[in-house]
């Protein structure tokens, strides 16, 4: 599904899951942008999404500019989830989407009034206003609905920057397949190779490239919490990168492409070079979800992407109050 922040500037309605009760298809903060002829992203599919698209297109045809709706999924829509989804609908313009897209690497809050006079504000990750006037809101609550001092309902909507940062070394067939697999996942990718000509002309919006003769320096100075993938054209370079990553003072996730034989060779060599045995035990090699044996680049990419998703869910699981961890 296409990224809603990459949609062209056109008349559209932004549908946001504002609040959830019980079992629902998507979490609070999930969004879908609906135009007259197509949509971007999803609020969960099924009858709920069908009704949301119908409401959004009625708004585009001349309905109210903003509305909040409550959907009991079982009795109201016949969906087996059985919970209740509260959806916020708002007509948005290209300038609003462009302002959010320009800040996609940092957290941004949208504050939208649904009663009384129209109100729209943007705030930074600390809640400081960037544009417009907003009521006080609870940043620890994530996306939620609140009432201001006058009783007006507001949507406080966190547009969170991706928490996961993947540093991928190697622009060969497998590396390129992994970049494609990660293109629509909630992450940022730094793609590293010595060979500038290996990078394609068109890159996904979440990817930046680094063509460098000293990739070890990038690994050494990466932010704590970076997720490393190493799959270069050279076993010697793979080993140098592995040593650099495993000697970092932080326990970062590290996946290395290769066989069990390669792992044993690297373990022996890296132990000789002073790498701690506990860090070697945490090295993921062969990389990819166990049980997927295919060697085609696209198959390996799916297995690696699934493994990364599991690692991200462990690393970024919401704690008490659902406050998000700091971004790397």
Cβ pair 93, 133 in contact under 8 A? no
- In the block, tokens 């990750």 appear at 125
Question: Mean pLDDT, to the nearest integer, of 63-92?
Answer: 83
Domain extent listing, the chain? 4-159, 164-315
Q: What is the pTM of this model?
A: 0.77
Query: How confident is the model over 98-125, as pLDDT tens digits?
Result: 888 888 888 999 999 999 888 999 999 9
- Whether residue 254 contacts residue 230, with contact meaning beta carbons closer than 8 Å, is answered with yes
- In words, the CATH class of domain 164-315 is alpha beta
Average pLDDT, the chain: 90
Please determine, for residue 196, whether its predicted confidence score (pLDDT) is greater than 80.
Answer: yes
Residue 289 reports pLDDT greater than 70: yes
Q: Which two tokens stand for residue 262?
A: 């390669």
pLDDT of 3 above 90: no
pLDDT digits (tens, 9 = 90+) for 213-231: 999 999 999 999 999 999 9
Where is pLDDT greater, at 96 or 1? 96
User: For the segment 294-322, what is each residue's pLDDT rounded down to a tens digit?
Assistant: 999 999 999 999 999 999 999 987 654 44
Q: Write the CA distances from 309 to 36, 185, 199, 306, integer angstroms.
A: 33, 9, 24, 5
Whole-angstrom Cα Rg for the chain: 23
Supply the pLDDT for residue 219: 96
Q: Is the pLDDT of residue 6 over 90?
A: no
Percentage of the chain exceeding pLDDT 90: 73
Q: Helix, strand or coil for residue 16?
A: strand
User: With 60 as the cut, is the pLDDT of residue 187 above it?
Assistant: yes
SS3 category, 5: helix
């Amino acid at each position: 599904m296409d990224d809603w922040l990459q949609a062209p500037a056109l008349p559209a309605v932004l549908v946001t899951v504002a609040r959830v009760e019980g079992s629902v298809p998507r979490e609070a903060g999930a969004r879908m942008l609906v135009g007259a002829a197509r949509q971007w992203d999803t609020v969960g599919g099924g009858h709920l999404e069908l009704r949301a698209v119908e409401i959004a297109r009625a708004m585009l045809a001349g309905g109210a500019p903003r509305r909040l709706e409550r959907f009991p999924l079982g009795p109201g829509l016949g969906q087996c989830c059985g919970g209740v989804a509260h959806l916020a609908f708002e007509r948005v313009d290209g300038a609003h989407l462009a302002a959010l897209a320009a800040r996609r690497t940092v957290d941004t809050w949208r504050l939208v009034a649904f009663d009384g006079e129209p109100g729209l504000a943007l705030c930074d990750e600390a809640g400081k206003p960037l544009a417009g006037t907003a009521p006080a809101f609870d940043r620890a609550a994530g996306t939620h609905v609140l009432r201001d001092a006058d009783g007006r309902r507001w949507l406080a909507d966190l547009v969170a920057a991706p928490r996961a940062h993947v540093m991928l070394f190697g622009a060969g067939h497998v590396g390129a397949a992994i970049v494609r697999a990660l293109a629509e996942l909630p992450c940022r990718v730094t793609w590293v190779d010595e060979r500038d000509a290996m990078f394609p002309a068109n890159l996904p919006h979440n990817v930046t490239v680094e063509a460098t003769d000293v990739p070890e320096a990038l690994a050494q100075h990466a932010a704590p919490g970076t997720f490393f993938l190493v799959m270069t054209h050279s076993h010697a370079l793979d080993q140098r990168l592995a040593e650099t990553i495993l000697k970092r003072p932080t326990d970062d996730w590290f996946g290395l492409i290769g066989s069990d034989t390669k792992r044993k060779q690297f373990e022996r060599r890296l132990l000789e070079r002073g790498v701690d045995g506990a860090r070697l035990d945490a090295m993921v090699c062969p990389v990819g979800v166990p049980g997927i044996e295919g060697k085609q680049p696209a198959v390996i990419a799916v297995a690696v992407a699934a493994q990364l998703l599991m690692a991200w869910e462990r690393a970024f699981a919401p704690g008490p109050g659902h406050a998000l961890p700091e971004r790397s």
